Amino acid sequence: MRRRRLLQAGLALAGGSWVVASAAPPTAQPAGVQPAPLRRGSRIAALAPGTWLDPADPLLDQLSQRCATEGWQLLRPPSLSQRWRWFAGSDRQRLGALQQAWLDPRVDALFYVGAGWGSARVLEAGFTVPASPRWCVGFSDCSALLLAQWAAGSVGGVHGWFGGDVAAWQRLVALLQHQPVPSLQGTPVQGGTVRGPLVVSNLTIATSLIGTPWLPPLQGAILVLEDTGEAPYRIDRQLTQWRSSGLLDGLAGIGLGRFSWAEDDVLLGDFTMEEILIERLAPLGVPLVRDLPVGHGRPNLALPLGRLAELDGRSGQLRLLST
């Protein structure tokens, strides 16, 4: 994943599909209690746990307007203007801002508006995620915080973004208000229908958490992965590590969002990205769906970590189940 390249357009993956016999769905771990729905008057803290925001970035103004339309107030703490090299302040400063916002009872949600790189350094600096439910929204590098939140047993982490089109924003709003959202449509690769809690992440960020307490257990889960700026051979290297470590054993199913890369990352005779993803993941024998509208690029449709979902490897649909 390349630092500060958050909204690269994804490249479409093409290919056929495979069907295997349906596997019995594993027992899903309990999803826990969701945070209270956001309502008019809710207060949202904007945080940059990683790379600093470009002062000319219109994201915050757009986000403030969108929140105001919903009757929400977007809070911009002083930490947003901090800068230390490529980080939005030192590790201790970013840690302090995150702790203060998380523990403030007047704050109803945390929006991770700055990503790039640095969230895992905040965890290393000593951030301990409370087990209480908390709306926390972000993606890319901020996947580290979302994974750590679910690993701590806290429900409310949402893999999504704020700068997409109106439809993507309204999906996020619906999730934060406990309203139903449409299923996501992908391309079937390997059949079967399974249910399990969602674990959604950037692959590179999740790989960097292997061996730490911040990567949640994956047994019985539906794992959704995406990435950007990584050549197919580097994706191959990461997935081989996951397979060799046994982390993928016992998964209920796998969904693949966008995986984008530069054209010169694939030379004549190399594996394509699609070939690597399928060659590494299909042998696990679980339902597999690709081309989900998730990750860097548009649309980047929101998915909540820990929510019970159903993945249909025949139709290519990923559906959230009622809480």
Q: Among all residues, which ones are annotated catalytic?
A: 140, 226, 296
Helix (H) or strand (E) holding 183: none
Rounded distance between C-alpha atoms, residue 56 and residue 66, angstroms: 18
Backbone Cα Rg of the chain: 19
CB atoms within 10 A of CB 137: 24
Contact 318, 289 (CB under 8 A): yes
- d(CA 90, CA 96) in angstroms, rounded, equals 10
Strand ranges in the chain using DSSP code E only, listed in sequence order:
43-47, 73-75, 109-112, 135-138, 157-159, 184-185, 187-190, 193-202, 222-228, 253-260, 288-290, 303-304, 308-312, 317-320
For residues 304 and 134, is the Cβ–Cβ distance under 8 A? no
Sign of the CA dihedral 18, 21, 24, 26? Answer: negative
User: Which two structure tokens, joined as six digits, stand for 235?
Assistant: 């994706």
Decide: helix, strand or coil at residue 11: coil
Q: Which residues of 255-266 are buried (b: 16+ CB within 10 A; e: fewer)?
A: bbbbbbbeeebb
Cα 262 from Cα 259, distance rounded (Å): 11
Q: Is 240 helix (H, G, I), strand (E, B) or coil?
A: helix
